[in-house]
A and B are shown apart, each in its own frame.
Chain A
């Protein structure tokens, strides 16, 4: 099953995806973060904004994945983890994070990303490191938004980041509960 997801991801990347210049993307993201830092002046608020932006991206992204690949319903949370790492990250960032550190109840796992392209050229000022800025926090929002569209309520956060001096970047994904199909609250 795992190998199948990997092949799906790689095939889709090769055939179904339009590519953009990596430097353009990296510099755009960098300017975005710097502008947010200037506007909010509080690194915790910047983290929250990045997460919110990522969430909005994630809810739309999931339809994009379904359109580009022929994936079926995941058999369980383990399968979901594999799809995120082998198909999702591959399709949009062309990186292959590994899934690790499963919790005993199978409701939490870590994504170890050791070659995040957003980190190229970036060096955090010491104050940002001190005050807890997670530079690529948008990725956490994307995962959270995408999973919510798949009826899973999750908590996603960075626990380690190479830009803060750790040896690798690690995102922790925690399943809080499955959401039942609900009719959205009407506006009247």
Chain B
């Protein structure tokens, strides 16, 4: 399982953070993937009766799977993974989302975090990099 991209969008669906672990030229591709997933997220949130933050698999494009997670404030986190033949367990994706959620909270709680758009913070970046490193071994 390889982690390709993490995107964080706010309630109005404008991007707050996007980190692409492949070549920078793929940025556009991941931006458009994130936007197309927004509609699916809205749909899922409307139809889901449980208060689960994890939205599950939103869509698959070629060999990439897109997973979604929404925070209580309406902020959406989107993960783009490439999954080889073996299925990926949703519990491990859920766990990844929870780690990102915790890192996001820590970043937002920092009193020196001035603007809420365009977040970037050394600790947050290092946690995300660590996550991508752990999940970049193709099994």
Residue of A nearest to B109 (CB): A121
B122 lies within 8 A of chain A by Cβ: yes
A124 lies within 8 A of chain B by Cβ: yes
A122 CA / B111 CA spacing, docked (Å): 6
A128 lies within 8 A of chain B by Cβ: yes
Question: Cβ of A123: which chain B residues have Cβ within 8 Å of it?
Answer: 110, 112-113, 121-123
Question: Cβ of A128: which chain B residues have Cβ within 8 Å of it?
Answer: 112
A33 CA / B112 CA spacing, docked (Å): 9
Within 8 A of B (CB), among A94-144: 120-125, 128
A25 to chain B, nearest CB (A): 12
A134 CA / B112 CA spacing, docked (Å): 14
A40 lies within 8 A of chain B by Cβ: no
Question: Cβ of A121: which chain B residues have Cβ within 8 Å of it?
Answer: 106, 109-111
Q: Is the CB of A34 within 8 A of B109?
A: no
B118 to chain A, nearest CB (A): 14
A24 CA / B112 CA spacing, docked (Å): 16
A27 lies within 8 A of chain B by Cβ: yes
A128 CA / B111 CA spacing, docked (Å): 13
Q: For A37, A121, A124, which residue has the most chain B Cβ atoms within 10 angstroms?
A: A121
A125 CA / B113 CA spacing, docked (Å): 9
Query: Given that A123-B122, A123-B123 are contacting pairs, would A27 and B112 also be in contact in the complex, using a CB cutoff of 8 Å?
Result: no
Residue of A nearest to B108 (CB): A121
A125 CA / B111 CA spacing, docked (Å): 10
B105 to chain A, nearest CB (A): 8
A159 CA / B78 CA spacing, docked (Å): 43
Within 8 A of A (CB), among B43-88: none
Identify A30's interface contact among B111, B121, B122, B123, CB under 8 A.
B111
Residue of A nearest to B124 (CB): A123
List the interface of chain B (C-beta within 8 A of A): 106, 109-113, 121-123
Can you name 9 A-B pairs with beta carbons within 8 Å?
A27-B109, A27-B111, A31-B111, A121-B110, A122-B110, A123-B112, A123-B123, A124-B112, A128-B112
Given contacts A122-B112, A123-B122, 12 further A-B contacts (CB under 8 A): A27-B111, A30-B111, A31-B111, A34-B111, A34-B112, A37-B112, A121-B110, A121-B111, A122-B110, A122-B111, A125-B112, A128-B112
List the interface of chain A (C-beta within 8 A of B): 27, 30-31, 33-34, 37, 120-125, 128
